[in-house]
Amino acid sequence: MPTANRNPEIRKDAVNNRWVILSSARSRRPSDFKSKSQSKTDSNSTSNAQPQCPFCAGNEHQCAPEIFRVPEDSTSDWKVRVIENLYPALSRQPEVKSDHEEYCQANGTAGEVSLGGFGFHDVIIESPVHSVHLPDLSPAGVAVVLLAYKKRIEQLCAVDSISFVQVFKNHGASAGASMSHSHSQILALPVVPTTASTRLDSMKEYHNQTGRCSLCDIHTDNFLIDESTHFISIAPFASTFPFEIWIVPRHHSSHYHELDEDKAIDLGGLLKLTLLKLSLQLNDPPYNFMIHTSPLQVTSSQSPYTHWYIQIVPQLSTIGGFEMGTGCYINPVFPEDAAKILREVEVP
Amino acid sequence: MPTANRNPEIRKDAVNNRWVILSSARSRRPSDFKSKSQSKTDSNSTSNAQPQCPFCAGNEHQCAPEIFRVPEDSTSDWKVRVIENLYPALSRQPEVKSDHEEYCQANGTAGEVSLGGFGFHDVIIESPVHSVHLPDLSPAGVAVVLLAYKKRIEQLCAVDSISFVQVFKNHGASAGASMSHSHSQILALPVVPTTASTRLDSMKEYHNQTGRCSLCDIHTDNFLIDESTHFISIAPFASTFPFEIWIVPRHHSSHYHELDEDKAIDLGGLLKLTLLKLSLQLNDPPYNFMIHTSPLQVTSSQSPYTHWYIQIVPQLSTIGGFEMGTGCYINPVFPEDAAKILREVEVP
Ligand SMILES: Nc1ncnc2c1ncn2[C@@H]1O[C@H](COP(=O)(O)OP(=O)(O)O[C@H]2O[C@H](CO)[C@@H](O)[C@H](O)[C@H]2O)[C@@H](O)[C@H]1O
Ligand SMILES: Nc1ncnc2c1ncn2[C@@H]1O[C@H](COP(=O)(O)OP(=O)(O)O[C@H]2O[C@H](CO)[C@@H](O)[C@H](O)[C@H]2O)[C@@H](O)[C@H]1O
């Protein structure tokens, strides 16, 4: 990967309050392990009929119950299905109890907390056809998936004890995927996870100092990749990973589910373009994307500084003990170099 | 892995203030990707002579400069060498400059920070012989490595602008290692990374509430694995990863480098035992360990609640977008089950 030879830098972003080490020297180190299989073996078979895949059209009966499909009309063919996860991380039973709730109380262990694992864990099947991946869809086709996320989040908002909803996608085994059929997941939690509360604090601090929203202010100079009517894509100033990309709404918006149909098609086009560029430039890498939205119960005093965005991360290397220990990542590719490369990728 | 079938729980620990989802249902999900190669291919060759390995005795000239060796006497054979990393993440030149320092100032970007990448990045070669891994050494042999960490940290403490030192080990390619010869690394930073400052805040809060140190108080009931004169090993209450282990000093101590020779041999024995148990139970898995010590400039008011420990994590699965997005991990193995299994492993 041709990137400029720069001095190492330690950067912190204004959104997540996270340090990162940028060091191009790191990209030159050799490895005496066999190089790890990239996403060809990873993102698997491209044949159409997969009799054993429960996510394929025709195998609906092998899946956990459906929540809804698009279009809703059950007589026509579906484009997208939202179903329960058959092996859920959390239980849909509000009365699920932790053996340790009592234990923690009895032992008065300050700091340690145990809650019953109540929550929702759903799967979004993005296409009825095994070989069709998200960027293979048209902008309007991607929008159908994006609007299914929105609809499901709105349903989850209605559940009293749900505080946070995480939408994410794993593509390829090295990105954690256990299923190769194109899909994403939604987890709804009764707590606000650390990353989201840290982001809230960090964006608040920026707002206190400047009176502005850190994501409305995000600078694009050398970091811009592409833009559409309502969104921009950038390589963030303090990128945690090589070729990390953020897609940010131009106009201030706290929650992903404020997305309307027009914007969904516009976003569908930019997301498709971005995934195609990653695939062309990095040889179809495994990747994750995460929708970073605000906690559901954001107050009116918080809304001026909360702003949702999508983070896309191609999985190009394995992290080690330094990152696990410190939460500070070593990134060998400067984001201004990644942005330049991705700006120039030509999509046929 | 035979673990009890329990209801899912959401737990938070008192040390790191981090949520984790424990869910045994997750361990039953199938995968349509080929199962990933475990550490046999991963932790590589066991032959003795590796002409092309720079960490082997005889190949010292292929390495970046030596900082010190043990024993220091350069005429006898070395047991451990501490060397500079040939592809360092940070630069040893205090005057290293970031192009963005001025940029950030000129643009007055609140929140975004850029520092020159000053710091130290060293490698500890744990044995002169390619096939000898850390747990193959005697307790006293492991202690030589542990005391080399201590000595190097003490040297780094003397550098004014260094705020934090992270010692870590990567074993096996899936744990991030690029070199198979047994080694660990030390990175010294001019900033305190997020994980360490979050831990400091969290331990302070516990101390404010209880007047005690959260790690002195850590409960061992169902979570204890082994104990030695000066240390205990446990599966922590809110384990982030399956079979995660912490080794904690029994007596309150803020910094790893307070370790003396006696305690180093005692710790060497327990660390050896722990790594052997993981290897036997989990079929020589790739793993990381991290020494979580306190920032170097801890004040006397902070020392009552700061306590170092070692975190050991076998790499058994790939994380996905949920963990990347939220910082909340889904762990299919309850720590009380992991502790029971590891307690009962018989080491020949
Ligand atoms: N017949 C069926 N009906 C309904 N659902 C079915 C099903 N068969 C399988 N599923 C579910 O489909 C989902 C597919 O998800 P992914 O492939 O994105 O990754 P997975 O959740 O397995 O784990 C990755 O993502 C999670 C979350 O980030 C990480 O914890 C983990 O380590 C990583 O491997 C699984 O959660 C599975 O339970
Ligand atoms: N001849 C020589 N002389 C001196 N040093 C030499 C050398 N040849 C190689 N080295 C150094 O030896 C080190 C070996 O380290 P590891 O195998 O533990 O993992 P590495 O640092 O490559 O990356 C893993 O750990 C880091 C930190 O956690 C992660 O950023 C990364 O993604 C992960 O793969 C490398 O840092 C390399 O630069």
A214, pLDDT greater than 50:
yes
Q: What is the pLDDT of residue A41?
A: 43
Percent of chain B with pLDDT over 90: 80
Q: Which of A9, A115, A325 sits opposite B114 (nearest CB)?
A: A9
B106 vs B295, more confident: B295
Which one from A121, A183, A257, A292 is the annotated catalytic residue? A183
Residue of A53, A109, A207 to mutate, testing the B interface (most B Cβ within 10 Å of its Cβ):
A109
For residue B233, give the CATH number of its domain.
Answer: 3.30.428.10
- Is the CB of A185 within 6 Å of ligand 1? yes
Element (H, E) at A125: strand A120-125
A191, pLDDT greater than 80:
yes
Contact B34 A41 (CB under 8 A): yes
Give the residue from chain B lying closest to A185, CA to CA. Answer: B322
Full residue range of the structural domain in which residue A340 is found: 9-26+54-93+115-344
Residues paired with residue A9 on neighbouring β-strands, in sequence order: A22, B116
Ligand nearest to the CA of A315: 2
> Is the pTM value of this prediction over 0.75?
yes
Calculate the average pLDDT of chain B.
Answer: 91
Chain B residues whose beta carbon lies within 8 Å of the beta carbon of residue A208: none
Strand order in the sheet with B231-234: B66-70, B80-84, B120-125, B183-189, B164-171, B287-292, B309-314, B245-249, B231-234, B224-227
Q: What is the pLDDT of residue B210?
A: 93
Identify whether the C-beta of residue B43 lies closer than 8 Å to the C-beta of residue B286. Answer: yes
Q: A290 lies in a domain?
A: yes
- Is the CB of B325 within 6 Å of ligand 1? no
- Listed in sequence order, the residues at least 6 apart from B173 whose beta carbon sits closer than 8 Å to its beta carbon are A31, A33, A34, A36, A318, B41, B42, B286
C-alpha span between A250 and A227 (Å, rounded):
9
Contact A9 B174 (CB under 8 A): no
Measure CA B2 to chain center: 27
Q: What is the pLDDT of residue B29?
A: 84
Q: B32 lies in a domain?
A: no
Q: What is the pLDDT of residue A37?
A: 45
Domain count, chain B: 1
Please measure the distance between the N-terminal and C-terminal CA atoms of chain B and give it in whole angstroms: 21
Is the peptide bond preceding residue B71 cis, with omega within 30 degrees of 0? yes
Contact A193 B6 (CB under 8 A): no
Q: B39 lies in a domain?
A: no
Stretch among A42-51, A108-117, A269-278 having the lowest mean pLDDT: A42-51
Kindly report, residue by residue over A156-180, the tens digit of the pLDDT: 999 999 999 999 999 999 999 999 9
Identify whether the C-beta of residue B66 lies closer than 8 Å to the C-beta of residue B124. Answer: no
Identify whether the C-beta of residue A185 lies closer than 8 Å to the C-beta of residue A85. Answer: yes
Q: B3 lies in a domain?
A: no
C-alpha span between A297 and A143 (Å, rounded):
26
Distances (CA, A) of B224 to A200, B144, B204: 36, 26, 24
Q: B284 lies in a domain?
A: yes
Cα B263-B312-B182 angle, rounded to 5 deg: 80
C-alpha span between A293 and A308 (Å, rounded):
5
Percent of chain B with pLDDT over 70: 90
Q: B264 lies in a domain?
A: yes
Contact B326 A195 (CB under 8 A): yes
Q: A281 lies in a domain?
A: yes
Kindly report, residue by residue over A304-342, the tens digit of the pLDDT: 999 999 999 999 989 999 999 999 999 999 999 999 999
CA distance B120 to chain A (A): 12
Residue B115 φ then ψ, to 5°: -120, 155
Centroid of ligand 1 to alpha carbon of A177 (angstroms):
7
* pLDDT band of B71, cuts 50, 70, 90: very high
A2, pLDDT greater than 50:
no
Centroid of ligand 2 to alpha carbon of B94 (angstroms):
22
- Listed in sequence order, the residues at least 6 apart from B160 whose beta carbon sits closer than 8 Å to its beta carbon are none
DSSP A95: T
* pLDDT band of B95, cuts 50, 70, 90: confident
A57-74 mean pLDDT: 93
Q: What is the pLDDT of residue B237?
A: 95
* pLDDT band of B73, cuts 50, 70, 90: confident
Structure tokens at A273: 């373009």
Mutate-to-test residue for ligand 2 from B60, B179, B288, highest number of ligand atoms within 8 A of CB: B179
Centroid of ligand 1 to alpha carbon of A178 (angstroms):
6
Q: A1 lies in a domain?
A: no
